Amino acid sequence: MYVKFGIMAPYMMAPVEEGAYAASFGKLAEEMGFESVWAVDHVVMCPDYESRYPYDPSGRSPFHEDVVQPDPLIWLTYVAAATDKLRLATGILILPQRNPVVLAKTLASLDRLSGGRMLLGVGVGWVREEAEAVGTRFEDRGRRADEYIEAMRALWRSPRSSYSGETVRFDDVVSRPKPARPGGIPIHIGGHSLAAARRAGR
């Protein structure tokens, strides 16, 4: 057993939205021996947010409204095309803000195209204002995240899939391609709450 190191794109100090930078960053990370590159996820920034940032005593996020955050899956696809073995990770994807059926397809496609290099880091998000802007409920985001994980795994693991939950339902559908690895894409849980710890334990 050995320690693996990943690196996050320097969103606050580099033109991460530029294709040439994304490609060169990925190549350099791979050459330096990093196991993975991580991309963050916020669909919109809310400058006047009232939500409390849980990872700093001040309650304020270090990300300001001028920080450019490209869509993480599109950005990682670009990095995938420029590298050979670097794992492609979301750190973290705000899962309740995505449609799980569409997301399962997107992730499986990226995993296939990259030769099985996708790592999915997910969380429930902390910005109520962002959830409202996207059109999703903030209050039930934990329950939806749990169901979305189950639903995506059903789509990845079965030739024909069905799922019936409170927030997502489908019956006898086929979603292809499947991820490159049997069982689907590894999922890592981000968060600071007891619910997040339980989600990770499952």
| Domains and their CATH numbers in the chain | 6-149+186-201 (3.20.20.30)
Per-residue pLDDT averaged across 112-136, rounded? 97
* pLDDT at 104 > cutoff 80: yes
* pLDDT at 53 > cutoff 80: yes
Residue corresponding to tokens 């799980």 = 100
β strands within 75-200, DSSP E: 87-94, 118-123, 161-164, 169-173, 187-189
Percentage of residues of the chain with pLDDT beyond 90: 79
d(CA 174, CA 160): 5
Q: Structure pTM?
A: 0.94
Per-residue pLDDT averaged across 143-155, rounded? 98
Q: What is the pLDDT of residue 198?
A: 77
Residues with Cβ < 8 Å from 43, sequence gap 6 or more? 94, 97, 130, 133, 134
* pLDDT at 41 > cutoff 90: yes
Per-residue pLDDT averaged across 11-25, rounded? 93
CA 160 remoteness from chain centre = 25
Of residues 198 and 9, the one with the higher pLDDT is 9
* pLDDT at 65 > cutoff 90: no
d(CA 75, CA 42): 13
Q: What is the pLDDT of residue 62?
A: 84
Strand 6-8 and strand 118-123: the pairing is unpaired
Strand 169-173 and strand 161-164: the pairing is antiparallel
Per-residue pLDDT averaged across 155-183, rounded? 97
Q: What is the pLDDT of residue 11?
A: 86
Asked which of 58-67, 78-87, 132-141, 151-160 is least confident by mean pLDDT, the reply is 58-67
Cβ-contact 165, 150 below 8 angstroms: yes
Bridge partner list, 89: 38, 119
Q: What is the pLDDT of residue 166?
A: 96
Q: What is the pLDDT of residue 191?
A: 81
Q: What is the pLDDT of residue 123?
A: 96
Confidence of residue 30 (pLDDT cuts 50, 70, 90): very high
Of residues 118 and 11, the one with the higher pLDDT is 118
Residues with Cβ < 8 Å from 80, sequence gap 6 or more? 26, 86, 88, 110, 113, 114, 117
Long-range contacts of 193-196 (CB under 8 A, 24+ apart): 195/142, 196/123, 196/124
β strands within the chain, DSSP E: 6-8, 36-39, 87-94, 118-123, 161-164, 169-173, 187-189
d(CA 41, CA 73): 9
Q: What is the pLDDT of residue 181?
A: 94
Q: What is the pLDDT of residue 86?
A: 99
